């Protein structure tokens, strides 16, 4: 079963989420919800999906942060429960990002290149994990959703928000050495 994806303007996208208790994590209802989130992410073709995007205030998200499979298939989506960013590098890198909640837009977002994240995994274990580059970017994007923050809030200028259908025209008109010319990533 797939879930509807909240689109830009839905109030749920601007709310902070609530942590889950250990009892909630093991409930059949929660397990069914996570499975529905996985199916929704798969159908949407994204690399991440946060609970607010499917009209839930649970403090969880899915993210594909592992290495691709042997045939280039996307890595499985990992579940991050009650995450907290513990540390971040000083270095920030700007890249274009898409979002399943407003797929018609791309936003140039500066993000930390490396982060240390603490979260609970599907088995209920607390994990600390260092992530760099693309995996760190995906996790920060989804983490922002849990805080009620959208990529458009992170844009340094309205010039850094473009219509996705115009990406080729925009990227084709810029030098490949400019940060703005980086290919977009999809959440």
Structure-derived torsion over alpha carbons of residues 42, 111, 52, 60, reported in degrees to the nearest 10:
70
Residue with tokens 């991050």: 80
Alpha-carbon distance 56 to 10, whole Å? 12
Alpha-carbon distance 165 to 163, whole Å? 5
Alpha-carbon distance 81 to 61, whole Å? 7
Residues classed as catalytic: 142
């Amino acid at each position: 079963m797939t879930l509807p994806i909240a689109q830009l303007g839905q109030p749920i996208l601007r709310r902070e989420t609530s942590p889950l208790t250990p009892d909630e994590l093991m409930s059949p209802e929660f397990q069914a919800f996570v499975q529905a989130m996985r199916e929704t992410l798969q159908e949407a073709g994204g690399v991440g999906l946060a609970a607010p995007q499917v009209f839930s205030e649970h403090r969880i998200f899915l993210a594909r942060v592992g290495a691709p499979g042997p045939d280039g298939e996307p890595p499985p989506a990992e579940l991050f429960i009650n995450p907290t960013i513990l540390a971040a590098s000083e270095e920030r890198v700007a890249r274009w990002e898409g979002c399943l909640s407003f797929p018609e837009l791309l936003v140039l977002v500066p993000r930390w290149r490396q982060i240390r994240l603490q979260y609970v995994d599907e088995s209920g274990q607390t994990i600390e994990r260092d992530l760099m580059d693309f995996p760190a970017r995906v996790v920060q994007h989804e983490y922002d959703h849990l805080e009620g923050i959208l990529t458009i809030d992170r844009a340094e200028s309205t010039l850094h928000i473009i219509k996705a259908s115009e990406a080729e025209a925009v990227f084709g008109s810029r030098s490949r050495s400019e940060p703005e010319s980086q290919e977009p990533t999809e959440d």
